[in-house]
Amino acid sequence: MTSTMLSAQLRALASPEMAVVLQRFFKTGPGEYGEGDRFLGIKVPMLRALAKQQDASLATISALLASEFHEERVFALLLLMQFYKHGTVHDKTAAYELYLSRTRHINNWDLVDVSAPHIVGHYLADKPRERLYELAASASLWERRIAIIATFHFIRLHQFDDTLHLAALLCDDRHDLMHKAVGWMLREVGKRDQAVEEAFLLPRYRTLPRTLLRYAIERFPEERRLAYLRGTV
């Protein structure tokens, strides 16, 4: 199907009532992180179900990813993940390059979180990872989030170094959404090796943003978690 045909299918699923809810949830008001984003009002399970029925080209995916509607961009990323997963080595490179050339459209936390580990993280698993550090230094909140969330793929492989290095670079980020992302990835490290996470936290925990620390220690035993929060570790 063409992007126009797929877009028509999506818009047939739209719910104006749900769109209002989603616009509030994703902070689209003036001065908020999702300012100006528009929603059709389609839940993610419906997007996933429809995506599984498609076999879209990169050209079609690229066109959908440029949509003004949030759900069409989510849908495009779901299609891109399928294209990447089932593609040849050449296809995977093309999907990765398309992704990083369109980061201006991957412009909310859910868009990053659903896709970055499966495309950027997977692609870089056996390659040099300097691109992540370039993204981490970006002025774009979403590129910085891509950098740290992509490392979720490495964490699943029990490779923690890049997560920890990027966390050190990003832990003083000015944005609360980055505090949550860094804390989340540290928590994922800790679920696999708490000693590694604590080696990162102990020299820093008194000065880390509170949101980041709370996310990072969420799975700790209660007594240990409270000691971190009280500054008495």
Task: Write the pLDDT tens digit of every residue in 107-135.
Answer: 999 999 999 999 999 999 999 999 999 99
Q: Is the pLDDT of residue 186 over 80?
A: yes
* 164-183 burial: b if 16+ Cβ within 10 Å, else e: bbbbebbbebeeebbbbbbb
Average pLDDT, the chain: 96
Q: Would you place residue 197 in the very low, low, confident or very high pLDDT band (cuts 50, 70, 90)?
A: very high
Res 1 pLDDT > 90: no
| The pLDDT of residue 110 | 97
35-68 pLDDT, tens per residue?
999 999 999 999 999 999 998 999 999 999 999 9
Residue 158 has pLDDT above 90, yes or no: yes
- Cα–Cα distance, 67 to 40 (Å, whole number): 11
Provide, rounded to the nearest whole percent, the portion of the chain with pLDDT above 70. Answer: 100
The pLDDT value recorded for residue 45 is: 95
Alpha helices in 102-230 (DSSP H): 109-116, 122-124, 130-136, 141-150, 152-156, 161-170, 176-192, 194-201, 210-216, 222-230
Quick one: pLDDT at residue 183?
98
Q: How far from each other are the two terminal CA atoms of the chain, in whole angstroms?
A: 58
Question: Which pLDDT score is estimated for 138?
Answer: 98
Q: How far apart are CA 64 and CA 179, in angstroms?
A: 30
CA 188 vs CA 35, 58, 196: distances in Å = 30, 32, 11
